[in-house]
Structure 1
Amino acid sequence: MAKIGYFLSCEQNGPKELIDQAKRAEAAGFESLWISDHFHPWNDEQGQSPFVWGVIGALSEATSLPVTTGVTCPTMRIHPAIIAQAAATAAVQLDGRFVLGVGSGEALNEHILGDPWPSVGVRLEMLEEAIDVIRILHEGKEISHHGLHYEVQEARIYTLPEQPVPIYVSGFGPQAAEFAGRIGDGFCTVTPDAELVKTFRSSGGGDKPVQAGTKVSWDRDADVALDAAHRLWANDMLPGQLAQTLPRPKDFADAMTLVPREKMGESVATGPNPDDHAKQIREYVEAGVDEVFVQQMGPDTEGFFASFERDVLPQLRS
């Protein structure tokens, strides 16, 4: 049976709110946590973007749930050697209940130091080398690495968990799913796409874990729920490569004006009906996802957790 976790949105919540949501999620019966890793929110309406590694340290003291970054880009904004140290510390703090989810990033977060934004092929090449650097450093020896994209000089990580940190690789298309199957310890995605899951498994993923994040907007008033989803997260409906290439939150806000309000309602569960929310999550389970993480987009988090504890999670587990 698939596990149901809660998706902590760093784009929409401050650090204290994230910790409060994590506690509520555990009390409501969610089994694990996903947490996004951004420098910017997608748009100014979302309004937050705390440093994820500080939040993870606090999570380790606030809950007993496993945590996955959904996802970290270890290629440009932060050097992979520093991500290796951060991930190792997080795994120690969480007593081994930590997974490093990684991806090739978006210009929104990765352009901030003035680096040029490479093509998809180059970004995947950088990601593969970054994963190699992280894995080598997690062996605990002093290493030097002279690669195509990264240089590491006589570095050693001293604070390490008992087992190497699993690295799950994200992917939203066949090329990335194949890449994840070849080098990942698991796969992260955001769509209930059975073909993507099959591509991951047939490309070397086998029976490794598949995680997916999804969003809902719970509210007693269906119109309020739909308004919140459209105002805050219409960026999820943008087509093509826009999510990877637009550089500023205000650019996403401009592009979001092209997304009709009703399109959000067709794509995500909005309102109070528990069957609608359960149906959306089941689509991921039926696509072969092992662990589904649910994010609440609307403002009524208390109502969301009460409804999921009482009406949604029990029917998914029955």
Structure 2
Amino acid sequence: MAQIGYTLMTEQAGPPALVHDAVAAERAGFDFEVSSDHYFPWLDSQGHAPNAWVTLGAVAQATETVDLMTYVTCPTFRYHPAVVAQQAATLGLLSNGRFTLGLGAGENLNEHIVGRGWPGANERHEMFAEAVDIIKALLDGGYVNFVGQHYRVDSAKLWDLGEPPPRIGMAVSGAQSCELAGRVADLMIAVEPDASLGEQFDAAGGKGKPRVGQLPVCYDTDKDAAIERAHDQFRWFGGGWKVNAELPGPAGFAGATQFVTKDDVAESIPCGSDVDAVVDAVRQFTDAGFTHVALVQIGGEHQAPFLEWSEKELLPALREL
């Protein structure tokens, strides 16, 4: 049976609301919770971007049993990988071992802020591979020295580190990322129900490891209102990650999606209150070999009715998968 998760979408809610929703999602019966880690929302209409790590620290204290994960953190520009390792170790302790460090190669949207430019994909993957090596070495304990093409670490050590340390998940979207994830990650992360990603992950050494997907939904008793909200706040989702990784800000995403219609959004995102539509969308992930699927309810102020519906109707139906 697939594990069903809830997404703390930092782009659409402020920190107090996110903590409140995390507690409510645990109470509703979700198995795990993932948090995005952004400096900008995708579109201005989403309206938020609080610090994910501070928020997750509060969530770790406010919740009791639900597993937590970043979905995902980029350890190459905004954060030095040694700092990411320290944050992950601390959050692992605050959550009593419930935290998994989800990592990805990032998007220009969030990483351009430090003024280092946005290199090509091959260089970004080189940086990412070095960063993962540093993080894994630090989470293994002891002093770490590292001299790479992109990073240096001088006698770093994590003084507060739980046992076991946080697991590492890695976002994949193609052959390069699948090969790296299969070799070094404890689980695979993806946003599309693409079975070929899992096959490439397996071929690189990931066989038998968990794989986590993510599915946006827009619950509302008024289907037209749900479609309207999904189009307003989530039409960027259909661009694909090769495009989404390159655009530098919300204005770019607004321009790139100006011709996306409400019908386009309704075809790709379950909107309304049809439980079967969500079950069918989740089934695409489970059929593709995913063991975990995190749901995103679109609209920061629309979490409470979604969580009530999930507890009463959606989660019982999904358990049958």
Is the TM-score greater than 0.5?
A: yes
Where does the alignment leave 5 or more consecutive residues of structure 2 unmatched?
Answer: none
Residue 310 (structure 2) aligns with: 308
User: How do 1:262-301 residues align onto structure 2 when only pairs under 5 Å count?
Assistant: 262-298=263-299, 299-301=301-303
User: How do 1:9-88 residues align onto structure 2 when only pairs under 5 Å count?
Assistant: 9-64=9-64, 65-88=66-89
3-state SS in 2 of match to 1:67: strand
- RMSD of aligned residue pairs (Cα, Å): 1.2
Please say if residues 183 and 206 of structure 2, whose CA atoms lie closer than 8 Å, have aligned partners that are also in contact. Answer: yes
Quote how far apart the aligned CAs of 1:218 are: 0.2
Paired AA for residue 48 in structure 2: Q
Residue 150 (structure 2) aligns with: 149
Quote how far apart the aligned CAs of 1:302 are: 2.0
Paired AA for residue 225 in structure 2: V
Please say if residues 173 and 241 of structure 2, whose CA atoms lie closer than 8 Å, have aligned partners that are also in contact. Answer: no
Please say if residues 174 and 199 of structure 1, whose CA atoms lie closer than 8 Å, have aligned partners that are also in contact. Answer: yes
Residue 165 (structure 2) aligns with: 164
Question: In the alignment, is residue 185 of structure 1 matched against residue 186 of structure 2?
Answer: yes
User: How do 1:216-255 residues align onto structure 2 when only pairs under 5 Å count?
Assistant: 216-239=217-240, 241-255=242-256
Quote how far apart the aligned CAs of 1:173 are: 2.3
* Residue correspondences, number: 318
Give me the whole-angstrom Cα distance separating, in 1, the residues matched to 2:129 and 2:166.
Answer: 16
Please say if residues 217 and 271 of structure 2, whose CA atoms lie closer than 8 Å, have aligned partners that are also in contact. Answer: yes
Quote how far apart the aligned CAs of 1:164 are: 2.3
TM-score, scaled to structure 1 = 0.97
Q: Percent identity?
A: 40
Please say if residues 72 and 102 of structure 1, whose CA atoms lie closer than 8 Å, have aligned partners that are also in contact. Answer: yes
User: How do 1:122-133 residues align onto structure 2 when only pairs under 5 Å count?
Assistant: 122-133=123-134
Quote how far apart the aligned CAs of 1:21 are: 1.1
Question: In the alignment, is residue 196 of structure 1 matched against residue 191 of structure 2?
Answer: no
TM-score, scaled to structure 2 = 0.96
Give me the whole-angstrom Cα distance separating, in 2, the residues matched to 1:240 and 1:56.
Answer: 25
Change (3 A) 1:17 1:159: same
Please say if residues 238 and 259 of structure 1, whose CA atoms lie closer than 8 Å, have aligned partners that are also in contact. Answer: no
Cα shift readout 1:47-78 (whole Å, capped 9, x = no counterpart): 10111110111011111211010000001111
Give me the whole-angstrom Cα distance separating, in 2, the residues matched to 1:310 and 1:260.
Answer: 32
Quote how far apart the aligned CAs of 1:140 are: 2.5
Give me the whole-angstrom Cα distance separating, in 2, the residues matched to 1:174 and 1:135.
Answer: 22
Give me the whole-angstrom Cα distance separating, in 2, the residues matched to 1:260 and 1:196.
Answer: 29
Residue 209 (structure 1) aligns with: 210
Please say if residues 14 and 48 of structure 1, whose CA atoms lie closer than 8 Å, have aligned partners that are also in contact. Answer: yes
Give me the whole-angstrom Cα distance separating, in 2, the residues matched to 1:139 and 1:204.
Answer: 20
Give me the whole-angstrom Cα distance separating, in 2, the residues matched to 1:88 and 1:179.
Answer: 22
Give me the whole-angstrom Cα distance separating, in 2, the residues matched to 1:125 and 1:18.
Answer: 34
Please say if residues 75 and 104 of structure 1, whose CA atoms lie closer than 8 Å, have aligned partners that are also in contact. Answer: yes
Quote how far apart the aligned CAs of 1:239 are: 4.8
Cα shift readout 1:230-281 (whole Å, capped 9, x = no counterpart): 1001111125732011111111112221211110000010001111112111
Give me the whole-angstrom Cα distance separating, in 2, the residues matched to 1:241 and 1:303.
Answer: 34
Please say if residues 99 and 167 of structure 1, whose CA atoms lie closer than 8 Å, have aligned partners that are also in contact. Answer: yes
Quote how far apart the aligned CAs of 1:180 are: 1.4
Give me the whole-angstrom Cα distance separating, in 2, the residues matched to 1:116 and 1:19.
Answer: 33
Paired AA for residue 222 in structure 1: K
Quote how far apart the aligned CAs of 1:125 are: 1.1
Give me the whole-angstrom Cα distance separating, in 1, the residues matched to 2:68 and 2:291.
Answer: 15
Give me the whole-angstrom Cα distance separating, in 1, the residues matched to 2:156 and 2:236.
Answer: 40
